[in-house]
């Protein structure tokens, strides 16, 4: 089954409103007419509205980087799915490894946030991935299987068909140490196999699985050439309009 690639940026805790507007002024012409893939930018909460305004009329989608699972209430500092939806977003990152590492995110809370996003019609981009210790001790597949089973594995098939998975090996994030296409493809194949075991070959064949971890213009083409890699979740290189536009045009980059 043909899967439309998704090239997503995760700005993490970077960019003010002014910097956001400047980014899109440069970025939009560079990707005008690029309909071979979906283009998504996940920005900090305070710039979501400015980002949504500036991409209006282009095909570029805007997402948040986290959400809380309650719709509203006395939860100081939190942001809900209806708020993100009302800001004009279509997507939201869930369970990024930095949220797991620094903010106590677990597979159980990943599931709650995923359900809250789906209920609002947002597309959750659910992140999984092993740490360096886990990889070096040979636990990669066990870790991925647990993150899958205890997290999104308990969605209904209909819910599951509306999510995107991002495989982000923690040791490759922000380190410049990209997983080789072979290592990434092996993990993606394993994840798709887990999806097939749980939800069947049809859903597994349609599921987009993005790779994240030091994706750059000079490695994106070889990653995107892998059968089971359906896109990228890009941190550092999504902050620069030219670099991120090159990643969007992945097929034109050196293989
Ligand atoms: P880098 O591309 O900076 O390694 O970040 C990857 C990431 O965490 C995207 O969510």
Nearest to 237 by CA among 180, 176, 166: 176
Q: Is residue 1 part of a domain?
A: no
Structural tokens at position 247? 């990643």
Catalytic entry in 38, 96, 98, 188: 96
Q: Report in angstroms the alpha-carbon separations of 224 from 58, 210, 253.
A: 24, 9, 11
Q: What CATH number corresponds to the domain at position 98? A: 3.20.20.70
Q: Is residue 115 part of a domain?
A: yes
Is the per-residue pLDDT at 130 higher than 80? yes
pLDDT band at 1 (very low <50, low <70, confident <90, very high): low
Residue 26 contacts residue 242 (beta carbons within 8 Å):
yes
Number of domains making up the chain: 1
Is the per-residue pLDDT at 85 higher than 60? yes
Q: Is residue 89 part of a domain?
A: yes
Pure H helices in the chain = 17-31, 48-55, 81-86, 97-103, 107-119, 132-136, 140-150, 157-160, 181-199, 201-206, 220-224, 241-248
Mean predicted confidence (pLDDT) in 225-241: 98
Nearest atom of ligand 1 to the alpha carbon of 236: 3
Nearest atom of ligand 1 to the alpha carbon of 233: 9
Q: Which domain holds residue 177?
A: 6-252
Q: What is the pTM of this model?
A: 0.97
Å from CA of 236 to ligand 1 middle: 6
pLDDT value of residue 3: 97
Query: What residues are in contact with ligand 1 under a 6 Å CB criterion?
Result: 10, 96, 168, 173-174, 212-215, 233-237
Q: Is residue 135 part of a domain?
A: yes
Q: Report in angstroms the alpha-carbon separations of 70 from 67, 112, 163, 255.
A: 9, 9, 19, 45
Residue 192 contacts residue 227 (beta carbons within 8 Å):
no
In sequence order, the 6+-apart residues with CB closer than 8 A to the CB of 240 are none
């Amino acid at each position: 089954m043909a899967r439309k690639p998704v090239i997503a940026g995760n700005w993490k805790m970077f960019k003010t409103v002014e910097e956001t507007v400047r980014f899109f002024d440069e970025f939009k012409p560079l990707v005008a007419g690029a309909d071979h893939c979906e283009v998504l930018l996940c920005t900090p909460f305070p710039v979501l509205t400015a980002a949504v305004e500036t991409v209006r009329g282009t095909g570029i989608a805007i997402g948040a980087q986290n959400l809380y699972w309650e719709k509203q209430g006395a939860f100081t500092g939190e942001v809900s799915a209806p708020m993100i939806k009302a800001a004009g977003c279509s997507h939201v990152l869930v369970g990024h490894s930095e949220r797991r590492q620094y903010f106590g995110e677990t597979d159980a809370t990943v599931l709650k946030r995923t359900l809250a996003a789906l209920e609002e019609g947002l597309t959750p981009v659910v992140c999984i991935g092993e740490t360096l210790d886990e990889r070096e001790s040979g636990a990669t597949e066990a870790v991925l299987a647990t993150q899958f089973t205890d997290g999104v594995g308990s969605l209904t098939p209909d819910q599951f068909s509306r999510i995107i998975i991002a495989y982000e090996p923690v040791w490759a994030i922000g380190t410049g140490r990209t997983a080789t296409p072979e290592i990434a493809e092996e993990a993606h194949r394993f994840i798709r196999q887990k999806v097939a075991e749980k939800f069947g070959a049809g859903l597994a064949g349609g599921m987009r699985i993005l790779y994240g971890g030091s994706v750059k213009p000079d490695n994106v083409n070889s990653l995107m050439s892998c059968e089971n890699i359906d896109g990228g979740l890009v941190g550092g290189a999504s902050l620069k309009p030219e670099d991120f536009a090159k990643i969007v045009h992945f097929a034109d980059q050196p293989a």
